[in-house]
Chain A
Amino acid sequence: MRTFPGGVHPFEGKLYTEKKKIEKLPRPKQVTIPLQQHIGAPTKPLVEKGQEVKAGEKLSEAEGYVSVPVHASVSGKIKAIEDIDHPVAGRGSAVIIEANETEEWIETIKADEKYQDLSADEMRKRIQEGGLAGLGGATFPTHVKLKPPEDKKIDVALLNGVECEPYLTADHRLMLEYPQDIIRGFRIIMKILGVKRGIIGIEKNKKDAAEVIKKQIAGETGMEVMVLPVKYPQGAEKQLIKAALNREVPSGGLPMDIGALVQNVGTAKAIYDAVSSHRPLIERVVTVTGPGIKEPKNLLIPIGAHFQDIIDFCGGLTEKAAKIIMGGPMMGIAQPNLKVPVIKGTSGILVLEERQAHLPVEEPCINCGRCVEVCPSHLLPTTLQRLVYHERFEDAGKLHLMDCIECGSCSYICPANRYLVQSIRHGKKQLLQLRKKAG
C-alpha cells in the first residue's frame, strides 16, 4: 500500500466512539459564535445587542475576499457582542445568542433541484455565503481554495477521509452515515475545478467507511477510493498527496502547484448543503471522547455551543480528567476552561487523564535520530531545536525551519521527552517576525 515517508503510529484510541452513531446535541440555551473562525481577514458584525435573529441568519460580513461570514446556529435574541475565550486565538470577539423557545429558520434555506446546472462561480458564491471554511481543522475559506489562479491547472481532486488524528471518529461516522451528501459535495468540488479525476483517501482502520463510499461511487465516473495504511500524519495535505499521487508539494508551495487540491469529507458535505439548499455552515460533527469523558459520543453540534454543555450531555468528566483539548492529541489545542465554544474547525473535544496529560521533564538529547526518521518533512528536529534554543533563527531557517508542518511526530517519538515541535513552533514565529522587520 502506498504511503508517505516518515510518520508515527500513536495509540489510535478510536474504539471509544467509532461504533457510535452521530447524535444530535439538544438545542443549547445559549451559543457563543466567534466572529472569526477561519484563517484570513476578520468579519464585522451585522447585528446589534437585543436584536432577534433566526437560525441560519448571517451575523457578520466578510471583510475582504479571504474571509467568510458567520451565521446564527439557533434562533433567539442577541445577548451581547463581546470578547470571549476563543478556542484557537485565545481571545476574540463573539456574538452571544440566547436561544428562544422554538427554532425559527430563515426562509432562504430550501432545496434547489437544479443546483447541478449552476456555473462554477455561482456555486462558489453559495459556498462563500454559507461561511464555509475547511472543516478538517485548518479552516481556510473554502471558496478561495476552490478558485486557484488561472495559471495553476488542477488535474486531480482529493477527498480527505484519512482522519489520522488518534481518537477522532467524526469523519469516519460522517462517511458511514452521509455518504451520499459527501459524494455529491465531492462532485460539486470536481465540477467547480473542472477536474476529471477524484480520489477519496481513507485509512485502513476505517474499512467499513471505505466500503460504504465505494458503493456510493459505483455509478460515478472518475472517482476512486484509495485505502491507505494507518500512519500519522497521513491526513496532512502534503502527506496525503504524496501517499495517493506520489507527488511532492514543493517546499514553500501549495498543492495547486502540482495540480492537486484536497478537501476534507466534512467540508464536502457542507459544500453540498450550501450549494444544493443554501444551507450555511451552522453545525458540525464533533467527536467528544477520551478517557476523561464518561460517555464518549459523536455529536452533531450547533456552532457556538459551549464545551461545558456538550460535556454535560456526555455524562460529564471523570474524576481523573485533567486536560481538555480541541481537536486530536497530536495537533489539538489545550483549552483553559469549558466556556469556550465549538467553532467551524472543531473536529473533536478530547479529555485526557492526568497520566497522559502530565508534562514530562526534558532530558538530554542522545542523538538517537528518531525525530529525523519520523519527520515527514525530512527535517532535523533536534538540530532545529538546538538552534532555536540559541536563538539562531536565521540558521534554523536555512535548515528549512519554515517547512515544518507542526505535526508533532518528533516530540511524540522522542525518548528524551524533548519539546521539539514546540521549540520549532516558537522558532517559526520568531523567524517570521525577524523577516518582517527586515522587510
Chain B
Amino acid sequence: MSDAPEKLLLSSSSPHVRDSDSIPKIMWTVNVAMIPALIMAFYFFGPKALWITLLAVVSAVLTEGIIYKLAKQPSRIQDGSAVITGILLAFNLPASAPWWMPVAGSVFAIAIVKALFGGLGNNILNPALAARAFLLASWPVEMTASWVAPREGTISGINGITSATPLNLLKQSATIIASPENFEPSQVQAAQNAIANLSSSYTNLLIGNVGGCIGETSVIALLIGALIMFYRHAISWHVPFTYIGTVAFFSWIFGGSEGLFTGNWIFHILSGGLILGAFYMATDMVSSPVSHKGQMIFGVGCGILTVTIRIWGGYPEGVSYAIILMNLTVPLIDRYTVPSVFGEVRKK
C-alpha cells in the first residue's frame, strides 16, 4: 500500500463543486443587456450620447481603481460593476449634459455611495441613482432644462408639440386642467388636446423617438436587454413586474384628469424612466430585498412612490426618487419577510 501523493491532501468541507456563474458574469450580462438601449440612444440623440456614456464609464472605473489602490485592496474593477454604474448614470442624464457632469456623477457614485459604505455588496443605495439625485440637486438646470430632440421626432413624441418631454407635457397639462381659471382658454384647450392625443405617441415611446434621458427612451431596446438578463438569471420577474403593475394600476385609478379610473396607464408605463428603472435599477441585487416576497413588496413600494410623485409631486418623473427611497427600506423589508422555515410548526 503506497502513500497518497502529496497533492491529494487537498481537503475541504463539502460541497466540492460549484455552479459556474460568478459576479463578473452577472455584471457583464447586465452591461451587455444595456447595449441595445445604447445603440438606440446613439441613433436618436447622436454621438453625444455615446460620448457621455464613455465619460461616465471611464470615470467610474478609474475612481474604483484608485480607491482599491488607496485602500490597498486587490483590484476588482474587472468585475464589471463599476461599468454598470457608469452606463446607468449616463442613461439617466440628458444628452445635452456638459462633459463634467457624467464625471462628477461617476466619482460621487463610486467614491461616496459605493466605496464609503464598504464597496461592492455593501452600498445601501443604487450608486447611479444616488449620483443622479446628487446631480439633480446640484445642477437642476443642466439636468432638466434642455432636452435634445430625437432625430426626426419631437421631444414630446407628439407631432406639433416640441417643448416638453412626454411626462412634462402630461404634468403641465394636468396642472392647467386642474385649475383652468388661472390660464388662458387657448392654453386650456391645448392641454386638453394634448391629453387626448397621448395615445398618438405610443409608437414613438416604444422605439424611443422622444426626448428624455439618454438610456430611458427606447422601451423596445430596454425590453430586449431585459430578456437577456432574464435568460441569464441576472434579474428575476419579482421586482419589475410588481413595480410596473403597480404603476399601471394606480396611474389608471388616479392619473386621469376626468376623475378616478380615467388615467392613461399605457402612457405612464411607456414614458419616462419606468422601464429602465424597473428592469435595470430597482433590480440591483445589492440594494433590493433578498427574498422574493421582499422583492415584491419592494416593487409595489416603488410603484406607489413613482405614481405619487408623478401625479401629486413637484417633479414630472418619480422613478429615481422612488427607487432610492425604497432602497432605504430594504433592511426593514428583509427583516419582516424572513421566509417561514420548512416544517415550521404553526403556533395555535
- Decide: A248 and B343 in contact? CB cutoff 8 A: yes
Which residue in A323, A332, A356, A367 is a CB contact (below 8 Å) of B8?
A323
**Which of B13, B76, B285 has a CB less than 8 Å from the CB of A368?**
B285
For B22, the chain A residues whose CB sits under 8 A away are 415-417
Known: A251-B345, A403-B341. A415 touches B16 (CB 8 A): no
* Contact yes or no, A364 B16, CB < 8 A: no
Number of A-B contacts (CB under 8 A): 175
B46 proximity list for chain A (CB < 8 A): none
Q: Which residues of B contact A10 (CB under 8 A)?
A: 17, 19
Q: A250: CB under 8 A from chain B?
A: yes
* Given A369-B292, A380-B338, A334:B4 Cβ within 8 A: no
Known A336-B11, A364-B122, A367-B121: A251·B18 in contact at CB below 8 Å: no
A415 & B26 in contact (Cβ 8 Å cutoff): yes
Is A192 part of the contact surface with B, judged by Cβ < 8 Å?
Answer: no
What distance in Å separates the Cβ of B296 from its nearest Cβ neighbour in chain A? 12
Complex Cα gap A269–B301 (Å): 57
- Taken together as a complex, chains A and B put the C-alpha atoms of A248 and B2 apart, in Å, by 48
Instruction: Check if B10 is an interface residue, CB within 8 A of chain A.
Output: yes
Judge whether B290 and A382 touch: CB under 8 Å: yes
CA distance in complex: A166, B14 (Å) = 13
Chain A positions within 8 Å of B287 at CB level: 367
Answer yes or no: B1 CB below 8 A from chain A CBs.
yes
Please name all residues of chain A whose beta carbon is closer than 8 Å to the beta carbon of B236 when the two chains form the complex: 369
Q: Per a CB cutoff under 8 Å, which of B19, B21, B285 touches A367?
A: B285
Question: Please, how many angstroms separate the alpha-carbon atoms of A308 and B3 in the complex?
Answer: 9
A-side contacts of B341, CB under 8 Å: 251, 377-379, 400, 403
Report the separation of the CA atoms of residues A38 and B2 in the bound assembly, to the nearest whole angstrom: 28
Residues of B270-313 whose CB lies within 8 A of A: 285-292, 295
A338 within 8 A of B: yes
Task: Let me know if A372 and B290 touch, CB within 8 A.
Answer: yes
Residues of chain B with a CB closer than 8 A to A369's CB: 236, 285, 289-292, 295
The interface residues of chain A lying within 8 Å CB-to-CB of B345 are 250-251, 253
Residues of A within 8 A of B289 (CB): 369
Contact B4 A324 (CB under 8 A): yes
Q: Which chain A residues numbered 383 to 439 have a C-beta less than 8 Å away from chain B?
A: 383, 399-400, 403, 406, 408, 411-417, 419, 421-422, 425
Q: Quick one: which of B97-152 are within 8 Å of A by CB?
A: 119-122
| Residues of chain B lying within 8 A (CB to CB) of residue A216 | none
Bound complex: CA A417 to CA B23 (Å): 9
- With contacts A367-B288, A416-B23 taken as known, whether A380 is within 8 angstroms of B339 at the C-beta atoms is yes
At the interface, yes or no: A337 with Cβ under 8 Å from chain B? yes
Number of B positions contacting A (CB below 8 A): 47
Considering the complex, which residues of chain A in the window 206-238 have a beta carbon less than 8 Å from any beta carbon of chain B?
238
B16 touching A352, Cβ below 8 Å: yes
Taking a contact as CB atoms closer than 8 A, the residue among B9, B16, B340 that contacts A332 in the complex is B16
The secondary-structure label for the interface of chain A is loop
List B contacts of A330 (CB < 8 A).
Answer: 14-17
Q: Quick one: which of A8, A332, A350, A399 contacts B19, CB cutoff 8 A?
A: A8
Among B1, B288, B291, B343, the residue within 8 A (CB) of A250 is B343
The reply to whether A414 and B18 form a contact with Cβ atoms under 8 Å apart is yes
Contacts of A5 in B (CB 8 A): 342
How distant is the Cα of A383 from the Cα of B341 in the complex, in angstroms? 14
Which single residue of chain B is at the shortest CB-CB distance from A311? B4
Specify which of B8, B13, B76, B233 is in contact with A338 (CB 8 Å cutoff). B8
Tell me whether B338 and A11 are in contact (CB under 8 A).
no
* CB-contacts of A301-355 with B (<8 A): 306, 308-309, 317, 321-325, 327, 329-339, 350, 352
Which residues of B are found within 8 Å of A417, using beta-carbon distances?
Answer: 18, 22
User: Bound complex: CA of A412 vs CA of B18, how far in Å?
Assistant: 4
Contacts known (A323-B8, A323-B11); A357 close to B16, Cβ less than 8 A: yes
Query: Which residues of chain B come closer than 8 Å to A412, judged between CB atoms?
Result: 15, 17-19
The answer to whether A413 touches B13, judged by C-beta atoms less than 8 angstroms apart, is no
> Which of chain A's residues 49-74 have a Cβ closer than 8 Å to chain B?
none
| Chain B residues closer than 8 Å to A425, beta-carbon distance | 13
A337 contacts B342, C-beta separation under 8 Å:
no
Return chain A residues, CB-CB under 8 Å to B285. 366-369
| C-alpha spacing A5/B3, complex, angstroms | 44
Cβ of A1 under 8 Å from chain B: no
Q: Decide if A238 touches B343 in the complex (CB within 8 Å).
A: yes
Decide: B9 and A357 in contact? CB cutoff 8 A. no
Q: Does A149 contact B (CB under 8 A)?
A: no
Contact of A322 among B7, B13, B19 (CB under 8 A): B7
Q: Which residue of A lies closest to B24 (CB)?
A: A415
Minimum CB–CB distance from B232 to chain A (whole Å) comes to 11
List B contacts of A365 (CB < 8 A).
121
| B26 contacts A368, C-beta separation under 8 Å | yes
Most buried by A among B2, B14, B120: B14
* Minimum C-beta distance from B128 to chain A (A): 15
* Docked pose: A379 CA to B341 CA in angstroms: 6
Chain B 313-346, CB-CB to A under 8 Å as 1, else 0, gives: 0000000000000000000001000111111110
Residue among B8, B120, B121, B334 with most chain A CB within 10 A: B8
Question: Which residues of the other chain, A, contact B14 by a CB distance below 8 angstroms?
Answer: 325, 327, 329-334, 406, 408, 421
Instruction: State whether the Cβ of A376 lies closer than 8 Å to any Cβ in chain B.
Output: yes
A377's closest neighbor in chain B, by CB?
B342
Nearest CB of chain B from residue A234's CB, rounded to whole Å: 14
**In the complex the two chains form, is A380's CB within 8 Å of B290's CB?**
yes
The minimal Cβ–Cβ distance linking B43 to chain A, given in whole angstroms, is 33
Could you say which residues of chain A place their CB within 8 Å of the CB of B9? 336-337
Q: Nearest chain A CB to B54's CB is how many angstroms away?
A: 25
In the complex, the chain A residue whose C-beta lies closest to that of B1 is A308
**Complex Cα gap A157–B329 (Å):** 47
Complex Cα–Cα for A299 and B110 (A): 57
Cα distance A368–B236 when bound, in Å? 10
Report the Cα distance A359→B22, complex, angstroms.
14
Contact B339 A403 (CB under 8 A): no
Contact of A360 among B3, B18, B120, B339 (CB under 8 A): B18
Name the residue on A nearest B234 (C-beta): A368
Interchain Cβ contacts under 8 Å between A and B, 14 examples: A8-B19, A253-B343, A329-B15, A332-B14, A332-B16, A337-B4, A337-B9, A339-B4, A363-B76, A369-B295, A379-B339, A412-B19, A421-B14, A421-B15
Q: Which residues of B contact A (CB under 8 A)?
A: 1-4, 7-19, 21-23, 25-26, 76, 119-122, 233, 236, 285-292, 295, 334, 338-345
Sample of 16 more A-B contacts, CB < 8 Å, known A322-B8, A337-B3, A369-B285:
A249-B342, A251-B344, A253-B343, A317-B8, A329-B17, A333-B14, A335-B11, A338-B1, A356-B16, A357-B10, A366-B286, A368-B285, A373-B292, A413-B19, A413-B21, A417-B18
Listed in ascending order, the chain A residues whose CB lies under 8 Å from chain B are 5, 8, 10-11, 30, 166, 238, 242, 248-251, 253, 306, 308-309, 317, 321-325, 327, 329-339, 350, 352, 356-357, 359-360, 363-370, 372-373, 376-380, 382-383, 399-400, 403, 406, 408, 411-417, 419, 421-422, 425
The list of the 6 closest CB pairs from A to B, nearest first, reads A408-B15, A364-B121, A334-B11, A248-B343, A337-B4, A378-B339
